[in-house]
A = this chain, B = another copy of it.
Amino acid sequence: MPLPKSFTQLINNLSILPGVGEKTAERYAYALCQKDKDEVENLADSLINFKKTIRNCEICGCLSDENICDICSDENRDKKTICIVEDSKSVFFIEKTKKYNGCFHVINGLISPIDGINPEDLNIHTLLNRVENEVKEVIFALNPSIEGEVTSLYIQKLLEKYNLKISRLSYGIPMGGEIEYLDPLMISKALEDRKVIS
């Protein structure tokens, strides 16, 4: 006997989740058999509601339930400082630190010609509109990968003509890390970015 049709349909549809293959989807489906109807319906409702509600902020591109996200519409945030990040995940991650009061700009990816991602595929042009106005500093918080460096350089070139302070997160040894286990590249970066303490 093959699996019931409603069961295989669910397994197929669960496979759109990242890292979920047939085996995991099957495990999820068996577990959902045991769950209350309400719980499963809530999950289905929140999936539909999520897809209907979630959008990108018209100013910074961050995920939001509204057209303008909470940060861009917050009068108390410093609109003169923009932190450039790869994706919305980075925004929420940096927000957790509670140490940054500026705004963000989500470029939604990194330049990577090998994967067919060119500058025009990213949310960069809206950044230029933003910096034309009141912005004083742009902080790069992209991943320290080749793609991150390339993207950062590309945007820096575009920003040259504006009178801006441009910075990036410091590279260095991670807190709690042990120097002997770090790779030479990281140590050389930490040397370059060394901080005068007296």
Residues in A lying within 8 Å of B, measured CB to CB: 1-7, 9-10, 12-14, 16-19, 27-33, 35, 37, 39-51, 53-54, 62-65, 69-71, 74, 87-89, 91-92, 95
Secondary structure call for the A interface = helix
Q: Shortest Cβ distance from A101 into chain B, in angstroms?
A: 11
Determine the distance from Cα of A49 to Cα of B87 in the docked complex, in whole angstroms. Answer: 34
Beta-carbon contact of B51 and A37 below 8 Å: yes
* Given known A29-B50, A40-B51, A41-B51, contact A63–B16 (CB-CB < 8 A): no
Beta-carbon contact of A43 and B47 below 8 Å: yes
CB-nearest residue of chain B to A89:
B30
* Given known A1-B70, A63-B7, A89-B30, contact A35–B50 (CB-CB < 8 A): no
Contacts of A4 in B (CB 8 A): 53-54, 63-65
Contacts of A32 in B (CB 8 A): 16-17, 47, 50-51
Determine the distance from Cα of A9 to Cα of B48 in the docked complex, in whole angstroms. Answer: 11
The 4 A-B pairs with the shortest beta carbon distances in the complex, nearest first, are A44-B44, A6-B53, A13-B43, A44-B47
Determine the distance from Cα of A17 to Cα of B43 in the docked complex, in whole angstroms. Answer: 10
Contacts of A69 in B (CB 8 A): 1
22 sampled A-B residue pairs with Cβ under 8 A: A1-B69, A1-B70, A1-B74, A1-B95, A2-B70, A4-B64, A5-B65, A6-B46, A7-B50, A10-B49, A13-B42, A16-B31, A16-B35, A17-B28, A17-B32, A18-B27, A18-B31, A33-B88, A37-B51, A40-B50, A41-B47, A43-B44
